[in-house]
Structure 1
Amino acid sequence: MLGLSVVILLLTDASAQEMKGETLFEEKGCALCHKMDADTIGPSLRNIATVYAGKETELLTYLKGQGTPIVDPSRASVMNPQLIKIRTMFEEDLHAISTYIINSNR
């Protein structure tokens, strides 16, 4: 019974983290350039999620402005103003955004 409670708690926490990430993604203006299934100004969320699958640490590093992009590096300079804006966010908020992005490929 305790094991099931822990699993439910973890799933609830992960779901809450993803919902928070989606909210922050919208609030910080990320959705203006990143659509779920279509490449527009930036690559689609599904494309980002596919490329960064299993590499959430690299995505977090990039969002902090400390890493190099691995999704369409030739267009990455368009993201620089946004990186300046978001790199000062709390680690937990950046983690929520990266969780949302990574899980958008489900």
Structure 2
Amino acid sequence: MKKLLWALVPLTLICCQNKENKTEAPADETSVKTSGKELFEGEGNCIACHKPDQKIIGPSLEEIAKIYKAKNASIVAFLQEQSEPIVDPSQYDIMKTNFAITKSMSDEELKALEDYIYSFSK
């Protein structure tokens, strides 16, 4: 019985050590696994209402970027429902349905989404 225990202790330590090493992220890996464009077109479903250069249901990305930059406002705060709509308040009720999606995103994902929208500013 003692021999079995002595055999299991090193084996357990080796297994735990390997498990810990596998979960460590490489030093150059960032916490944002998805780009703003991927979030916009995928999980966020933003593309259903917003296009880069034309108004569909919601304002274009160019218009959003232009107005938010001019007013020095935060797209992230809006997507977290912490600020009022400033681009097209008449469409706010439609946008409110998507806050469940955007509120579940991490700060890094929201920042990536904001950066993607700002990439359309002229």
Give the TM-score taking structure 1 as reference length.
0.76
Partner residue of 1:20? 35
Structure number with larger C-alpha Rg: 2
Q: Distance in 2 between matches of 1:103 and 1:53?
A: 11
- Would you say 1:98 and 2:104 are equivalent positions? no
1:22 shift after superposition:
0.8
Quote the sequence identity (%).
36
1:75 shift after superposition:
1.5
Partner residue of 1:9? none
Moved over 2 A (4+): none
Give the TM-score taking structure 2 as reference length.
0.66
Partner residue of 2:49? 33
Which structure has greater helix proportion? 1
Tell me if the contact between 1:49 and 1:102 (Cα under 8 Å) persists in the aligned partners.
yes
Q: Distance in 2 between matches of 1:92 and 1:85?
A: 14
Number of equivalenced pairs: 88
CA-based RMSD of the aligned residues comes to 1.7
* Consecutive unaligned residues in structure 1, runs of 5 or more: 1-16
1:53 shift after superposition:
1.1
Q: Distance in 1 between matches of 2:111 and 2:62?
A: 17
Choose which of 60, 63, 68 in structure 2 pairs with 1:44.
60
